[in-house]
Amino acid sequence: MNVLDKIMKPKSIAVIGASTKEHTIGSDIMKRLQEYNFNGKIYPVNPKGGIIEGLQAYTSVLEVPGEVDLAIIVVNAKFVLATIDQCHEKGIKGLCIITAGFKETGAEGAELEKQLLAKVREYGMRCVGPNCLGVVNTHPDIRMDGCFAESLPERGNIGFVSQSGALGGGILNILKDLNLGFAQFISIGNQADVNAETALEYWEDEKDVEQILLYMESIQNPANFRKLASRISKKKPILALKAGRSAAGASAASSHTGSLAGADKAANALLQQSGVIREYSLKDLFATAKVFANCPIPKGNRVAIITNSGGPGIMATDAVCEHGMQMAKISDETKEKLRSFLPSAASVKNPIDMIASAPIEHYKQTLETVIADENVDMIITIYLPFLGLKDIDVAKALMEIKAKNPQKPVIGVFMTKSEFFAKLSDMDVNMPFFMYAEEAADGLNRLNQQRLWMERPEGKIPTFNVDYKKAQEIIAKSVNEGRAQLTTRESIDVLDAYGIRVCKSGFAKSEDEAVTIADSIGYPVVMKMTSKTTSHKTDVGGVRVNIQSAEQLRAEYQDLIAKLTEKGLLEGLEGVIIQEMVKGNREMVCGIATDPQYGPMMMFGLGGVFIEVMKDVTFRIAPLTDVDAKEMIKSVKAYKLLEGARGTKPAQMEQIEETLLRLSQLVHDFKFIDELDINPLLISEKTGEGIAVDGRIKVRMAEAQEALNYHCKDGVCACGVN
């Protein structure tokens, strides 16, 4: 038995802090448990004893005569620890601590919460809260409303986790109007013990919970969340409203990848890689929940539209196509059948326009006929009020057909008065209804998104043969010299050690050495300064391109030295890198930025000078799977350039995917890498390869020193790498 069953499926509940005083939490929880007809025993606990809500109250939980599965605690914060001790003595394993006054109040409260969790762990209990609204289970065998929301919960198939108690309460109050119901609800509050991940795992095989909704302000353990959610979302939809989208709190970063990243992009990448459908408003969250509550997952993305008005039909078509779904090709057999009863003025092509005079019978016959068409996966049925036809009668007729044909999603779009939707809230509906066609298309898109995720292969994290020791030695040299920022040459050498295709190049400390290297590579070449003090080379004229001869190279070298001398930057100069001149006008970028909470994030997109302006980039949390790498490349608008637009040579997609996967391995092996940019990753006109033309790596110094065994002896400090 899962210990969480003691909280979510209790046979007996002690309300510690139960009260006779009206409009207190201790009173309201007692009332809700009784009003919702809890199927087990309720034991009110109050130091004064007496009768509370018609039940004998006990002065201590230790006086309760029977066994207790769940203690709902609403006493003052200063008494909570002693109460937990008593619960342990009584043998109670489930706690729901409504009481506030813990880490949300500051350092003193945080210390109290730390002690609370220590006791919970020591006693082998599970705890929801503290500082929460409570828990609900609407199953007929349980009927537990263990929270203090104003309204009683509505029965449904949703498991809902809310980090905000007030928000959860507000939602419980409007479930009837939303035409939705919960199977279970957990207000996690400060999530000292039970959090969103606990709920996900608990509901994974819970048949009563057919979809999971999350309201989150933070994700405590991103790696564990990803592992759980990516597995569970293959079985049932997970919808999330993740608050805190602003960039505030994201660490300042000097790399392109870092500056384009941010906490919300990290959260978005994590949810995407976990198969979680992210919504950005409560309205959208519950609109999507309504669709999943009443629709099966479709077999494909082909949509048929049935309407009694041309305009909304066209608008619905636009919305379907904008989501990348297909307008279904209606079969000849279906068209023939439709023509047999629809008027000659009707259109039997998709969208199927029955015209304004369509009676209820035409709605029923058309829907029956279209559902039977094997070319159709999903259906939108649009109604506008004409000729005395009643909206609620049409809705009932559609629901009758849907009940007989549950195998395909059907969504109703009823452009009618709001009273219609109020009537629906009193009915047992079996299909979702919306006011506008765009909302219906959004819903079908979410169903299709879930289908694609469930069909998506798991993906593998490959391991490549790399020269780890060489990369380690290069990084250790920089760390030994107290440099968090590797030089360009060091950065490129690390990339090369990890098998990433870099330009043929050589390092020169003098003009003559530069010419010798260029002669061996072959002209044209590029010359780049590499400095321990200057990271953005272009700002100081440190990059010279398309050098065609030894004479030109000498002139460019002399000019570079003169410019650096003039700006007082010569002292940091290590030398110059001479590189092959790769021809290509398709410049991509890939890189790594570290989010304080989510860890290393991989970026891929359009690079070069356009990166900050166009921001055509995508992010994923490392480690990447091969499927992640493929999706990253395909998800940017610049993908069309990579495919070979206007006669250019198609890029080697597999080689670019491998570049991303090798970077993912690099940041896994050296977890202290803070930022990394390859900009540009130039697509060769000749071969289609993605070639790292420039590289930039920065480490977190303290972590790097620890990982590389940096130590000092007799005044000499160095990394102790093997």
Output the pLDDT for position 537: 66
Q: Specify the CATH number of the domain 296-455.
A: 3.40.50.261
pLDDT band at 249 (very low <50, low <70, confident <90, very high): very low
Instruction: Answer yes or no: are the C-beta atoms of 183 and 156 closer than 8 Å.
Output: yes
Of 301-315, 464-478, 632-646, 708-722, the least confident: 708-722
Distance of alpha carbon 514 from alpha carbon 506, whole angstroms: 8
Average pLDDT over residues 653-681: 96
Structure tokens at 81: 């620890």
CATH topology agreement for domains 5-209 and 474-580? no
Residue 279 has pLDDT above 60, yes or no: yes
Of 419-423, 529-533, 663-667, the least confident: 529-533
Output the pLDDT for position 260: 58
In 214-235, which positions are buried (b, 16+ CB within 10 angstroms) versus exposed (e)?
bbbeebeebeebbebbbebbee
pLDDT band at 351 (very low <50, low <70, confident <90, very high): very high
Residue 648 exposed, middle or buried by CB count within 10 Å (0-12, 13-18, 19+) = middle
Average pLDDT over residues 366-387: 96
Distance of alpha carbon 12 from alpha carbon 33, whole angstroms: 11
Average pLDDT over residues 704-717: 86
Output the pLDDT for position 167: 86
Output the pLDDT for position 245: 61
Sign of the alpha-carbon torsion through 179, 183, 189, 190: negative
Structure tokens at 121: 């762990």
pLDDT band at 244 (very low <50, low <70, confident <90, very high): confident
Output the pLDDT for position 86: 98
Residue 721 has pLDDT above 90, yes or no: no
Which whole-number Å values give the CA distances from 337 to 346, 362, 372, in the listed order? 13, 12, 11
Output the pLDDT for position 530: 86
Output the pLDDT for position 253: 42
Closest CA to 180 of 295, 296, 290: 290
Output the pLDDT for position 312: 94
pLDDT band at 178 (very low <50, low <70, confident <90, very high): confident
Distance of alpha carbon 399 from alpha carbon 406, whole angstroms: 10
Instruction: Answer yes or no: are the C-beta atoms of 216 and 241 closer than 8 Å.
Output: yes
Average pLDDT over residues 504-512: 92
End-to-end CA distance of the chain: 49
Output the pLDDT for position 248: 42
Output the pLDDT for position 84: 98
Q: Strand (E) positions, 406-542?
A: 410-414, 433-434, 505-508, 525-531
Residue 77 has pLDDT above 50, yes or no: yes
Residue 722 has pLDDT above 80, yes or no: no
CA angle 208, 210, 215 (to 5 degrees): 110
H/E segment holding residue 216: strand 211-216
Looking at the chain, how many residues does it have? 722
Output the pLDDT for position 541: 82
Q: What are phi and psi of 124, to 5 degrees?
A: 70, 30
Residue 713 has pLDDT above 50, yes or no: yes
Task: State whether CATH 3.30.470.20 applies to domain 586-706.
Answer: yes
Of 100-104, 112-116, 132-136, 163-167, the least confident: 163-167
Instruction: Answer yes or no: are the C-beta atoms of 120 and 85 closer than 8 Å.
Output: no
Structure tokens at 182: 């919960």
Instruction: Answer yes or no: are the C-beta atoms of 134 and 148 closer than 8 Å.
Output: yes
Please provide the average confidence, as pLDDT, over all residues in the chain.
93
In the chain, % of residues over pLDDT 70 = 96
In the chain, % of residues over pLDDT 90 = 81
Average pLDDT over residues 555-560: 94
Output the pLDDT for position 254: 45
Structure tokens at 132: 């929460």
Residue 216 has pLDDT above 60, yes or no: yes
Output the pLDDT for position 250: 39
Domain parsing of the chain, residue ranges: 5-209, 296-455, 474-580, 586-706
Output the pLDDT for position 261: 55
Please give the model's pTM, rounded to 2 decimal places. 0.90
Average pLDDT over residues 548-560: 94
pLDDT band at 262 (very low <50, low <70, confident <90, very high): low
The set of residues, in sequence order, having a beta carbon less than 8 Å from that of 31 and lying 6+ positions away, is 53
Top CATH class, 474-580:
alpha beta
Which whole-number Å values give the CA distances from 115 to 25, 71, 72, 73, 196, in the listed order? 24, 18, 19, 16, 22
Residue 683 has pLDDT above 50, yes or no: yes
In 115-141, which positions are buried (b, 16+ CB within 10 angstroms) versus exposed (e)?
ebbebbeebebbbbbbbbbbbbbbbee
Residue 504 exposed, middle or buried by CB count within 10 Å (0-12, 13-18, 19+) = middle
Amino acid letter for position 95? L
Distance of alpha carbon 686 from alpha carbon 586, whole angstroms: 12
Of 280-284, 358-362, 412-416, 528-532, the least confident: 528-532
Output the pLDDT for position 120: 98
Output the pLDDT for position 532: 77
- 3-class SS string, 326-375: EECCCCHHHHHHHHCCCCCCCECCCCEECCCCCCHHHHHHHHHHHHCCCC
Q: What are phi and psi of 307, to 5 degrees?
A: -145, 160
Distance of alpha carbon 488 from alpha carbon 694, whole angstroms: 7
Residue 94 has pLDDT above 90, yes or no: yes
Output the pLDDT for position 536: 60
The 8-class DSSP code of residue 63 comes to: G
Task: State whether CATH 3.20.20.70 applies to domain 5-209.
Answer: no
